Structure 1
Amino acid sequence: MSDDLEYVETTTDGQGRGVHIRRAEARDIPQLHKLLREVLEVHHRGRPDLFNTGVTKYTDDELAGIVSNDETPVFGAFADDDTTLYGYAFCVFERHEDSHILTDVTTLYIDDICVDEAARGRHVGTALYRHVLDFARGAGCYNVTLNVWSCNPGAQAFYERMGLTPYKIGMEQVL
C-alpha cells in the first residue's frame, strides 16, 4: 500500500553487514519455505497433537499469490546481497466494514513472523516488527495484531518487549 516503505535500511546482522526490509517477491519463495518449515517445527515440538511435521504450509503457487497481493503483504529482512533471507513477516489487512458489533477500523494482522535461527539475537525481529508498524501507520491502520501459541514463550516475551499486550485470549479443553 505504501511504496515509500518498500526498501528500508534497518540494522546490521551482528557481523557488520547491513540488513534491509523489502516486500518479498516470487524469487524469495524457496527461502520463505525454509523459514516456514522452521516455524512449523517450533509449533510441532510445542503441540504435536495439533501441528504436523515435514510438510509445507503453502504451495509455490499459493505463496506466489500471497506475495503479489497488496492485501497480504509479506516483508523480508535481507542481507546486503538482497538474496539471503534472515526473517519474514506475513501480514493481512483485516476490516469489519459491515459488522454490527465491531467498529470499522483497519487492522494489520501479522499472520506469521519468523527470524532464521542462525540470525537470532541480531535484532532482525525488532527491525521487521518496527517496519511492519511503520507500514501499518502509513496504510492508515488503527492497530497491529497477532496470535502467539502458549507453547512458544520466547515469541510471547519478544512480542511483549515490542510493546504488544493481550487483547483476547484463546482457551481450550482437550477431550
Structure 2
Amino acid sequence: MNIEIRKATEKDFPAIYGLIRELAEFEKGLDKVSNTLEQMHEQKDCFECFVAETEDNEIVGMALYFFTYYTWVGKSFYLEDLYVKEAWRGKGLGTRLMDKMIEVAKAEKCKRFRLQVLHWNQAAINLYEKSGFTVDKTWYNCDIHDLHSFD
C-alpha cells in the first residue's frame, strides 16, 4: 500500500488528536492528557506536524514538532511526538517520518534536533539511534503541570 508523508492541516487535527491519545495509552499515561481538540485549534501556531496517510485517506502516523532556541547552540528543532499505529509498525513509516523531520530541521537551518524517549521503549530507541541520535541518560525532566497553582 502506498503511504504519503505530507504536511498536516487543521482538518487533520481530529485524527492527530486520536493518535496523541493512542500514544498516551501506549505510554501508560492517558490519564495525564489534558490537551483537547479545541485547544489544538486555539494553539495551532505553536506546533507543526506531518502525517502518514494511506491511499484510503486514513492517517496512520504522525510526527509533531516545534522550533525552539537553546542558548548553547541557537535555533533548534524539537520532535514532540512520532507515532505510528500499531498495525502499521514495522513497515518503515517511522523511518520515513524521521527522515522527513531531519529534512525539515536541515531546511530550517537548525543547529540541534532534540527529542525524548521513554527508557523502556526500545523500538523507538533503536529507530532514533539508527537515525543518528545519541541517547543521553544524564538529564532529568523538570515540569510544572499547573502554572495556575502559583496564583
- Equivalent in 125, 129, 132 of residue 156 of structure 1: 125
Q: Which residue of 2 aligns with 1:90?
A: 64
Q: What TM-score do you get using the length of structure 2 for normalisation? A: 0.82
Note if contact 1:25-1:64 (Cα within 8 Å) is conserved in structure 2: no
The answer as to whether partners of 2:21 and 2:30 remain within 8 angstroms in 1 is no
Partner of 1:75: 50
Structure 2 counterpart of 1:78, one-letter code: E
CA distance in structure 2 between the partners assigned to 1:57 and 1:116 by the alignment: 21
How well do the aligned residues superpose, as a CA RMSD in angstroms?
Answer: 2.1
8 Å CA contact retained: 1:93, 1:109: yes
1:43 to 2:27 alignment: yes
The one of 33, 37, 43 aligned to 1:60: 37
Q: Which residue of 2 aligns with 1:28?
A: 12
Q: Deviation string for 1:72-97 (max 9, x for gaps)?
A: 2111111124x31111011010114x
Question: TM-score scaled by structure 1?
Answer: 0.71
**1:156, 1:56 → 2: CA distance?**
23
Instruction: Give the paired residue count.
Output: 141
Unmatched segments (≥5 aa) in structure 2? 142-151
Q: Which runs of 4+ in 1 moved over 4 A?
A: none
- Choose between structure 1 and 2: higher helix proportion: 2
> After superposition, what is the alpha-carbon deviation per residue over 1:30-71, rounded to whole angstroms, capped at 9, x for unaligned?
211221122111221xxxxxx344x745211222245x42x5
Distance 2:137 2:77 in 1: 16
Q: Which residue of 2 aligns with 1:128?
A: 97
Give yes or no for contact 1:86–1:124 (8 Å, CA) kept in 2: no
Which runs of 5 or more residues in structure 1 are unaligned?
1-16, 45-50
CA contact (8 A) 2:63 2:83 kept: yes
